[in-house]
A and B are shown apart, each in its own frame.
Chain A
């Protein structure tokens, strides 16, 4: 019970931690708030209601323990305290979220560019020097781009926040309350402090309740404290600490059985759970690795854009351009260099994967978590429900001196045991009759293992087991009319019932009994072997012991079964059985056998764990369960692999004391919560380093936090699963928190980054696979997106330095970035993995960056350069064929752009008006645009793979990509040939042959990249590989 004591120490400490972190980052104001909260938390712990007598309580809350409150007073209190519900964590206001989307690094640059455009337009307008509205259009387009991408980002964020909202139970919870002496059902959120409420088995405790009366009331505190054993509650104060005393039941815990009445002492956010939930939401949400990657990258891009822009601004000023003109150059370079479509591409790629994951039962709350999952190197998994099926199931039977295995698979597809023995009939009869559990009605259609049962876990297991093996148990019980029964209690540790026999002529009574095996054995004098009752001698007792030990070491819960037929003479029909007096034989019984139960692992889990192992991911089990059970399940699913031994195993095997074992020899290690409490963080780090296979048993959820922190100290990216409220700090602390969709509490779901709808560990592995794939594919998408920035930038550089007519306009660039190239770059997200990504080690987030130097250099200075040459070839071709030979173009700019000169001579002596030249310039834009498009088709094909040849990957396997290329071409054609385009978006209907000028360069890109990949494949580790593999 000392566990609970440090549990809230941890909370307090956590609060301090948060303060420490806040110190560095967040403004003082918040810090103060945090402290207040902490004070509040401490105050909360000073609850003394559990120590008050009932009379004092009635005084304090002006209520009555018989009649409840008066409705009028309740209404007043409700007005004072507010509704009894947890307030959702205070989010950032919507407008701030939206504003944040508009104020990213790139967006700020675009704002600056737009402002420059406006100023330029304003000055031109003021000077009545207006030749075109291009600057105004451009400014509006830029703003539109920022706003539209902002809306898009906001929508994505909004949608993911809504996912969590949808999890909230929409059906209002009801509570039974006494008011004005009347018992009534009201919505739980209407409850107030002082209300007298009744709680019965199956109810959720509606608020923090001081128990007044209780009958066999047991409460599952696991969502609060993580204790898996139900805690019994009663009216007596057993401890001065409110968390430990028996007479307070906490909000959101579940009453499992019994009935209790009590007075509400805290409601809503003032409940213990409310405090914890709001504290957990205060733990700073750190950025995901990919968010850091992308921001880092955007910063670099923005920095480079400003650097380039500023350099050329200075160059332009030095060359002698006007200030305004130089500013426009600056703006144009920024527009050309910034990959406007990149953020949208990344978001779409991630949300596509998120959708794909949702189909596989992983709901991702924040998109970046998809990728984080891919870089996960440690998974700390719960046992119950995640690795296991979360239902007790009969797994072994011992009868006829033999251990038989039962079928534990979820769909009953496994092998069953031989049921022909007479002993089995006896054992089955005891198991079926000595059982109070019943199926809830109306479930005939549902397969037996999935049916809901009223009764505790073991009885449920036995009920389902007998239903499966014997048949209709209820009917069976009907045939053996129950005369009386003694329910299980902790003093005698058995349960018995007495039945009439099936055969109406047989007037004997049958007594059946089950319970703790050693207690049952004590009461037996014979044992049934192959239908024969044999005396229970030492030999049989030893056999029993061996079997009991064997089953126990499998971590299974074992029950013993026995029976006796009572002599009809001594106990004739109508005999008055008295369960208190026990006026019937309870010893000298006949031992039938043992049945052991376990919560079996899910069928898919061993494979999933294996996959993790090959993928270099370490799976650590963290459970509140008993070490032996934990170890057994760990061994079963492969977390402790075959042949791995713990220190204790080695000690037993070598028969030496534990201290003498070389710790390095033990691959596996089971640490229980008690040991963990005494370990320093260094010792824990050492243990995690020394033993690759770890199981933490009997841990509290707070200790989970410690384990996560330790893993992170060792440089791992940690994924953590959790369901309870107290898991939420660990879920927040982890790089990726995974909440359980079925068993998870709202607080856990709130804190998590991802929710497993089926609570299945195997789904996490699917997530990891998808995460790795999207990392690879994002790399490809980004490489594709970056490449075209060079052919967008070089026209300006040439324009400024060599003074040719402008080859590519800003609006055209925006069309490439935001229209034609978006679909192809997104389509790369559908690319299949090049190799078995689950056979690689997780990426090292410090070394394997999303955008590395090789990727940028290869895209910019090689593929981008080829594309630029393609664009200029096409540009000069279009100019020359219309009458402007390349050499004439050089230095032509000032004449060309003079709106007052209507007589500029081309190479053939023809004279051109300004407007004719302008349309020729638009033709150049279009031609350059087409060149980039053609090269980008080649680019998207080469980006399908980074190492394999495209021929190995298959050209047409990615249907989306093929569609994207077709779409890109169609859109390009539409832009070129749709009437009206020249005057709206500066696209001209160009001659068909100019589409083909860049084709040789496209082929060059493809061939060059195939050569690159060939070199990379053939000579791994070579200079070529190092410089050219991205």
Chain B
């Protein structure tokens, strides 16, 4: 098989290209006359207007089917994630006890975070609920029980880690407080009727002995059942997430210690290989003393 391949010179290609861009004899711009361009543009304007209209319509219909108060599905939220405060990307807390500058970032962060938990604010916005039972505020059929009340979580409940008695949260004396926070999930009730969910921290691998004694606030590291379930940000505007503060009382100093804090409850998964923050959180502590 063979054929003569025509070689075009550079100027020929340029000429052809120019003729394509603007052909003065036929008045064609890029192969089309003005009318032709107008028609095809009109066609596409109509076509895309129609498509956009259809898209908007289907989106509108879809949005109508949504409940504004709770999501249709919670396929990915079967179990809550856990996070700590003070928080950094690497989740490591490292400071020198007598170097104020090395830890005041942490204490400031805790101050800010706990600002909304001040007793005065809680008293003003939230109710005092019956402890140790789920605070159910279900709708009565079609009648919405809105807005829903929230329970008080007072900063003072964190006692030594509240930052009120000890404004340095123990950082100055090498006994740092870390606050454990569980992600909000609508309708989720951790624990069961008899046992509430609680936090348990251990050192990882060899570090278990180095962690030393740990104090939990509120007592037992419990997330009280009265704070659950969560009803969503529209109905439960002032919802205060319950917290657990963990105070490390006698850490081995000058070493890096890896700590794992777990939420212990029957319906909180803590063994997901893929999600390192499912029901647990890993962080590292390094408390140094300067010589």
Contact = CB atoms under 8 A, between A and B. Distances in A.
B156 to A, nearest CB: 25
Given A735-B1, A916-B275, A923 B75 contact: yes
Contacts of A531: none
Contacts of B230: 909-910
B54 A869 contact: yes
A872 B55 contact: yes
A37 B254 CA distance: 85
Interface in A853-898: 861-862, 865-866, 869, 872-873, 876-877, 880-883, 885-886
Contacts of B276: 915
A737 B71 CA distance: 68
Contacts of B234: 908-909
Interface in B81-95: 81-83, 89
A913 B66 contact: no
Contacts of B27: none
Given A872-B55, A1027-B40, A908 B83 contact: no
Interface residues of B, number: 50
A1 interface: no
A880 B62 contact: yes
Contacts of B70: 908
A732 interface: yes
A732 B3 CA distance: 10
A579 B80 CA distance: 119
Contacts of B55: 869, 872-873
B54 to A, nearest CB: 7
B11 interface: no
Contacts of A735: 1, 3
B278 interface: yes
Interface string B53-69: 01100110011001001
A470 B51 CA distance: 82
A251 to B, nearest CB: 27
A877 B54 CA distance: 14
Interface string B27-65: 000000000000110011001100100110011001100
B214 interface: no
Nearest to A731: B1
A145 to B, nearest CB: 26
A285 B275 contact: no
A919 B77 CA distance: 10
A287 B278 CA distance: 60
A372 B2 CA distance: 12
On chain A, which size bracket covers the interface?
35 or more
B184 A909 contact: yes
Nearest to A920: B76
A275 to B, nearest CB: 20
A268 to B, nearest CB: 27
Contacts of A872: 55
Q: Which of A908, A909, A911, A991 has the most CB of B within 10 A?
A: A908
A712 interface: yes
B51 A873 contact: no
A775 interface: no
Contacts of B76: 882, 912, 916-917, 919-920, 923
B74 A882 contact: yes
Interface stretch (A554-562, A620-628, A899-907): A899-907
B3 A286 contact: yes
Contacts of B81: 902-903, 911-913, 916
A151 interface: no
A288 B278 contact: no
A733 interface: yes
A903 B3 contact: no
B114 interface: no
B186 interface: yes
Contacts of B47: 862, 865
10 contacts: A287-B1, A712-B3, A869-B51, A876-B59, A880-B63, A902-B277, A907-B71, A908-B233, A910-B77, A1027-B43
Given A881-B73, A908-B71, A915-B275, 10 more contacts: A21-B2, A873-B55, A876-B62, A883-B77, A903-B83, A910-B232, A914-B277, A915-B274, A915-B277, A1027-B40
Interface of B: 1-5, 7, 39-40, 43-44, 47-48, 51, 54-55, 58-59, 62-63, 66, 69-77, 80-83, 89, 181, 183-186, 230, 232-234, 239, 272, 274-278
Interface of A: 21, 24, 283-288, 369, 372, 712, 732-737, 753, 861-862, 865-866, 869, 872-873, 876-877, 880-883, 885-886, 900, 902-903, 905-917, 919-920, 923, 983, 991, 997, 1000, 1004, 1023, 1027
